[in-house]
Amino acid sequence: MSAPGSTPPGPGSPGPVPRVSAFAPLANKSFLAMWTANLMSNVGGWMQNTGAAWEMTSLTQEPIFVALLAAAGTLPMFLFCFFAGILADRFDRRRYIICCQIWMMAVAATLAVLAFLGKLDHWSLLGLSFCMGLGNAMNAPAWHAVVPEIVSGPQLRPAIALNSAGFNLARTIGPVIGQLLLSLVGVFLLFAINTFTYVGVIFAMRAWKRPAEARAAQRREGFAEAARAGIAFVRGSAELRAIFARGLCFFVPGIALGTLLPVIGRFELGLDEFDFGILYGVFGVGAVAAAFAMPRINRLLGADRANIWAMGVSAAATMLAALAMVPWVVGIVVAINGACWITVIANNGTSVQMILPNYMRARGMAVHQMVFFGAMVVGSLLWGKIANLFGVQAALIASSLALVPLTVLAASIRLPGSTTPRV
């Protein structure tokens, strides 16, 4: 049902898009505190991710191992995210998030100790990346579910875009700082810094006073009952299925460039540590720019057409990178892909948030994350294998060509939307 006081959209239409500033949610002190803490944590996370990717290319030159590293971090999202969503809908989300942050802090500390002692090999790097992905998988549904508890109504879409922008701003800053420190000190320092960045998120969550009505809206179902209810809700929602189908059309072929970026940067372009960090960072530059421009883009095109344009542009840009494998061209293409990814992710995520009632929000977002990360795992392994067999250029060309008919297919599926989230 629509929130009290809202105007229901007309038949077949998502309704008018309110004119809300991209920065409006930052006026909310709780949202600002958590956004800032999460930004710092993500900076540490991207320092660690980029350092881990560089370290893997130092341990082996096989593209498949770089792809396995990407898959190790995302596979837990596919395997455990729904389980995490059930837990986040059953228990207090604030305390639950704090426990997840402590787990990820412990994993980062383990990486730092092994790297310092010189005991980190490619298998332990893969295993601990999986453990870090497990922490992210358990944390993500609850984190997404608390956003509508902090901001609501017309501010929800820019709040989600700001969260994505913060993630990608960290992706801009983290790799550059991380690779600079790596060249001066070593990879263990990147893991150590990331360990301490979780402290800010823990304190921000402890300071947040969760609304009583949000706690009351959660249903204390048994585990099996909650799982059945969640599956039944998702299966019965044609709107959710439409969003998931559109996401699969983009994320499976679209992940090729991101998956192969460590191989492209180090072996195809011959970059050093610092330039490698910049190449990673420009993805975030494009993503942040798109996030800030998104309210205007969505007013001009609508979220549905904005996503289709993003998919088409991403296909063309990836083909350009494959045909002109030089640093400045690849850098521009990576930035363009960052803008395309943030557009699709933010608009899809907002549509899911607006469809889900509060008592089902974590489970619904968990399924959304499962589809997203499952597509990334499949795409990462697929394009990594193709690159192993036929070369990086062939993998990029194939992914670009595959994205063309899938964009046409996505255009035939309307992106659901509404003006307000359900309660």
Confidence at residue 36, expressed as pLDDT on a 0 to 100 scale: 92
Q: Mark out the alpha helices in 185-272 (DSSP H runs).
A: 187-207, 212-217, 223-235, 238-254, 256-263
Confidence at residue 221, expressed as pLDDT on a 0 to 100 scale: 66
- What are 7-37's pLDDT values in tens digits? 333 334 444 445 667 788 888 888 899 999 9
Measured CA to CA in angstroms, residue 218 lies from 85, 146, 237, 354 at distances of 12, 12, 20, 17
CB 147 within 8 A of CB 159: yes
Most confident of 83-92, 175-184, 186-195, 206-215: 186-195
The residue range of the domain holding 392 is: 26-220+231-411
Most confident of 58-62, 73-77, 379-383: 379-383
Arithmetic mean of pLDDT, 55-68 = 79
Arithmetic mean of pLDDT, 349-369 = 83
Q: Which of 364 and 410 is assigned the larger pLDDT?
A: 410
CA gap 309, 261 in Å, rounded: 23
Confidence at residue 373, expressed as pLDDT on a 0 to 100 scale: 81
* Residue 252: both structure tokens together: 């499976």
Arithmetic mean of pLDDT, 205-230 = 75
Confidence at residue 4, expressed as pLDDT on a 0 to 100 scale: 35
Q: Is residue 306 a part of any domain in this protein?
A: yes
CA atoms within a 13 Å half-sphere pointing along the CA-CB vector of 194:
35
Q: Is residue 252 a part of any domain in this protein?
A: yes
One-letter amino acid of 72: A
Measured CA to CA in angstroms, residue 377 lies from 54, 105, 380 at distances of 20, 24, 5
Arithmetic mean of pLDDT, 224-245 = 87
* Residue 92: both structure tokens together: 């207090």
Confidence at residue 215, expressed as pLDDT on a 0 to 100 scale: 65
Residue 349 has pLDDT above 90, yes or no: no
Q: Indicate the number of domains in the chain.
A: 1
Q: Which of 21 and 91 is assigned the larger pLDDT?
A: 91
**pLDDT band for position 219 (cuts 50, 70, 90):** low
Tell me if residue 81 falls in helix, strand or coil: helix
Residue 3 has pLDDT above 60, yes or no: no
Residue 145 has pLDDT above 90, yes or no: no
Confidence at residue 227, expressed as pLDDT on a 0 to 100 scale: 82
Q: Is residue 182 a part of any domain in this protein?
A: yes
Q: Which of 330 and 285 is assigned the larger pLDDT?
A: 330
**pLDDT band for position 247 (cuts 50, 70, 90):** very high
Confidence at residue 209, expressed as pLDDT on a 0 to 100 scale: 83
Q: Is residue 16 a part of any domain in this protein?
A: no
Q: Is residue 75 a part of any domain in this protein?
A: yes
Look up the CATH number of the domain holding residue 259: 1.20.1250.20
Confidence at residue 257, expressed as pLDDT on a 0 to 100 scale: 94
Q: Is residue 420 a part of any domain in this protein?
A: no
Q: Is residue 20 a part of any domain in this protein?
A: no
CA gap 290, 165 in Å, rounded: 8
Confidence at residue 220, expressed as pLDDT on a 0 to 100 scale: 63
Percentages helix, strand, coil for the chain (3-state, rounded to 5) are: 85, 0, 15
CA gap 150, 156 in Å, rounded: 9
Q: Is residue 7 a part of any domain in this protein?
A: no
**Max Cα separation, the chain?**
63
